[in-house]
Amino acid sequence: MEQLAVEKVGDIVARDFRTAKIFTEYGIDFCCGGGISVTEACRKKGINAADLVMKLGGLENSSKDLRYAQMSSVELIAHIVNTHHRQVEESLPSLKCYLDKLEKVHGERHPELAEINRLFSGAADALTVHMKKEELILFPYIEAMEKARSEGIAPPDPHFGHIENPIGMMEDDHAAEGARFSRLSELSQGYNPPADACQTYKVAFAMLEEFEKDLHVHIHLENNLLFPAARVLHEGIQKTEAGSR
pLDDT single digits (tens) 31-56: 777 889 999 999 999 999 999 998 88
Query: 182-195 pLDDT, tens per residue?
Result: 999 999 999 999 99
What does pTM read for this prediction? 0.76
Structure confidence at residue 241 (pLDDT): 62
Query: 104-163 pLDDT, tens per residue?
Result: 999 999 999 999 999 999 999 999 999 999 999 999 999 999 998 888 787 778 888 889
Which one has a higher pLDDT value, 235 or 41?
41
Q: 64 Cβ partners below 8 Å, 6+ apart?
A: none
Structure confidence at residue 244 (pLDDT): 58
Name the percent of the chain lying above pLDDT 70. Answer: 93
Q: 85 Cβ partners below 8 Å, 6+ apart?
A: 131, 134, 135, 218
Which one has a higher pLDDT value, 71 or 59?
71
